[in-house]
Amino acid sequence: MKVAKLVGDRFKERPADCEIDSHALMLRGGYMRYVANGIYSLYTPLRRITRKIEQIIREEMDAIDGQEVLFPVVLPASLWEESGRYASVGSELLRFKDRNSIPLVFGMTHEEAAVQLVREYGQSYAKYPFMVYQIQTKFRDEARPRGGLIRAREFMMKDGYSFHTSQEDLQQYYYRCLHAYEKIFARTGIPEVISVASDSGMMGGNVSHEFILLTDVGEDSIAVCSECDYRANMEAAESIVQNEASEASKEIALVHTPDIHTIEDLSGFLNIPEEKSCKAVVYQKNSTDEYVVLFIRGDLDANETKLKNYLGEDIRPADITDGCGLNAGFIGPYNLKGDFIVLFDKSLKGSNNLACGGNIPDHHYTGLQLERDCGAIEYHDFAKIKAGGICPKCGKHTISISRGIEVGNIFQLGTKYSQAMNMQYLDKDGSSKYPVMGCYGIGIGRLAASVCEAHHDAYGPIWPMSIAPWQVHLCCIRSDNPEAKKSADELYEKLQSLNVEVIYDDRSVSTGVMFSDADLLGVPVRVIVSPRNMKENCLEITTRDKKISMKVSLDKAVEAITSLVSELTDEACSAK
């Protein structure tokens, strides 16, 4: 392929609406083009990258006995009604009707389709375990697409579904798949991806892991322990607090606190640490508008995901209306009257002498001791873990919060889908059972963007050999010089005949333009043929990461290039 013929423009200016580097570089380098909000077309360089990623994933999925299939993009709504998700999933699920008014959905995940595909096949225990996967376009109608391919609405995804006759068998396979994922990320050039325990969200099931590339531009927050190997998504990380044995308990007392609405104000007004206050955070159930009042230690934040999981339904921050019985800014657990769902975070357990809302305007209580004043209380974990907090695994105050991009996820689904969709098999003993399922996803485009995010400089991406759009970028400086042009042409032919993937720049443009285009295309090995080099009967070989730069005599060029390509290929393949 010649640069002169490569469809797509490259340009210097960072587009104004790009928050993150990979997004900007992929637009600047002619990798993709905006079509609509969260929807892109891919040009050839990126299509070549994604195909290589697909192939790596395929090999690793086949290596753990995965069988590639293809589910439809368009699914009948009836299938999603079987699982219950037609009603339960929000507006990320694109719903529409065909010419006969049959309701359909655009597949955003394929648990239902997977069960439908194997429901008859998997009727005997002898068929288990098995895993089917596909590489297919998906559409999630995200409220806020961002970062180019990092969070797109339409994207290419590998999704796999495994079926087992026991939780133990699922678990064994699950960790086999986890290791296959580690290999995939290593082979695509980001071995630094970590797996973290996560919340299963709408997938159902219990155990799940996200694969996270730690980077400041990521939108996921990860709790990481600096002392042990604990790491978890913020949404899933257990919050642990220790309430120090306090001074003797005081009496509960109503205090006039004019215009004191926030915990910060209250702490200053009463001259107490925020830990000694009991904060109210109020939500409403989406289904019934019912109020959910969560009490939590004043210095902590509520974790909405934990609340949703506990309630088993969606909630939103409350709209506290006049006459609803709640006094915004002055809500406390003592003497709270009204028909609300009241929950307590375990950060309040065992504390005393707390300040809290007085449930009448401009008043707070002091001296609250929940167990004494509010009767039998059930505590649950509803708080966000915080930096400097206690590690749930090693117990030290060693938690830090990092940001990251989720490049993959795996879930233990249990029998949620097999039960809902009545998929059963006959076990050895003749009894009917529901198979246990796991599911395994990787976003292809997001993975490409993540590699770019992890490997780039100011001038462009630095693609690892394993997924680079081409292996060698051949530059002919001064293609109007017949000698240089002839050498470069011959090299181009020769390398292609050896199955080296070459992109060849023989345009009559300045060296500056030629090199900045090469930087944007990010091909790992660059070969420079120029009249000056020709005089010395040699050419230059450099790598995009600038680690290698050498002059090689013309007669040894092909060998030097091919061996550098294999070296970098091996490096990428054997990573981790």
Residues that bind a copy of itself (CB under 8 A): 1, 5-9, 33, 35-37, 39-44, 46-48, 50-51, 65, 67-76, 79, 91-92, 94, 96-99, 102, 104, 106, 113, 116-118, 120-121, 130, 132, 134, 136-137, 139, 141, 143, 153-154, 156
Provide the minimum distance between the beta carbon of 10 and a copy of itself in the complex, in angstroms, as a whole number.
10
Provide the minimum distance between the beta carbon of 161 and a copy of itself in the complex, in angstroms, as a whole number.
11
Do 461 and 455 touch, CB atoms closer than 8 A?
yes
Provide the minimum distance between the beta carbon of 564 and a copy of itself in the complex, in angstroms, as a whole number.
25
- Output 27 or 538, the one with its CB closest to a copy of itself: 27
- State how far the Cα of 510 lies from the Cα of 512, in Å rounded to an integer: 5
- Which phi and psi (to 5°) does residue 482 adopt? -60, -35
* Residue reference for tokens 């753990």: 64
- Output 390 or 503, the one with its CB closest to a copy of itself: 503
| Cβ neighbours of residue 341 closer than 8 Å, sequence gap 6 or more | 285, 290, 291, 292, 293, 311
Residue 485 C-alpha from the chain's centroid: 46
Pairing of strands 291-297, 341-345: parallel
Task: Give the tokens for residue 19.
Answer: 């928050």
* Residue reference for tokens 């396979």: 173
Do 108 and 120 touch, CB atoms closer than 8 A?
no
Alpha helices by DSSP H, listed for 271-326, are 304-311
- Output 79 or 194, the one with its CB closest to a copy of itself: 79
- Output 12 or 99, the one with its CB closest to a copy of itself: 99
> Among candidates 261, 258, 280, which has minimal Cα distance to 335?
280
Provide the minimum distance between the beta carbon of 548 and a copy of itself in the complex, in angstroms, as a whole number.
30
- State how far the Cα of 180 lies from the Cα of 57, in Å rounded to an integer: 9
* Four-CA torsion 94, 97, 103, 108, nearest 10 degrees: -20
- State how far the Cα of 86 lies from the Cα of 108, in Å rounded to an integer: 12
Do 356 and 368 touch, CB atoms closer than 8 A?
yes
* Four-CA torsion 409, 202, 143, 302, nearest 10 degrees: -90
SS3 85: helix
Provide the minimum distance between the beta carbon of 455 and a copy of itself in the complex, in angstroms, as a whole number.
22
- Output 2 or 551, the one with its CB closest to a copy of itself: 2
Provide the minimum distance between the beta carbon of 50 and a copy of itself in the complex, in angstroms, as a whole number.
7
- Output 35 or 360, the one with its CB closest to a copy of itself: 35
Provide the minimum distance between the beta carbon of 34 and a copy of itself in the complex, in angstroms, as a whole number.
9
Provide the minimum distance between the beta carbon of 435 and a copy of itself in the complex, in angstroms, as a whole number.
13
Provide the minimum distance between the beta carbon of 136 and a copy of itself in the complex, in angstroms, as a whole number.
7
Q: How far is CA 421 from CA 78, 79, 88, 280, 338, in A?
A: 11, 8, 15, 40, 40
- Output 79 or 568, the one with its CB closest to a copy of itself: 79
Provide the minimum distance between the beta carbon of 92 and a copy of itself in the complex, in angstroms, as a whole number.
8
The number of residues making up the chain comes to: 576
- State how far the Cα of 361 lies from the Cα of 337, in Å rounded to an integer: 14
- Output 139 or 330, the one with its CB closest to a copy of itself: 139
Q: How far is CA 147 from CA 29, 32, 84, 238, in A?
A: 15, 13, 32, 29
> Among candidates 26, 22, 20, which has minimal Cα distance to 43?
26
- Output 118 or 399, the one with its CB closest to a copy of itself: 118
- Output 58 or 397, the one with its CB closest to a copy of itself: 58
Provide the minimum distance between the beta carbon of 56 and a copy of itself in the complex, in angstroms, as a whole number.
15
Other Cβ atoms less than 10 A from the Cβ of 522: the count is 27
- Output 495 or 538, the one with its CB closest to a copy of itself: 495
Provide the minimum distance between the beta carbon of 118 and a copy of itself in the complex, in angstroms, as a whole number.
6
- Output 137 or 262, the one with its CB closest to a copy of itself: 137
Using N-to-C axis directions, what is the helix angle for 444-454 and 21-28, rounded to 10°?
A: 100
* Residue reference for tokens 């050999």: 465
- Output 24 or 280, the one with its CB closest to a copy of itself: 24
Provide the minimum distance between the beta carbon of 139 and a copy of itself in the complex, in angstroms, as a whole number.
6
- State how far the Cα of 110 lies from the Cα of 240, in Å rounded to an integer: 36
Q: How far is CA 572 from CA 416, 464, 526, 565, in A?
A: 39, 7, 17, 11
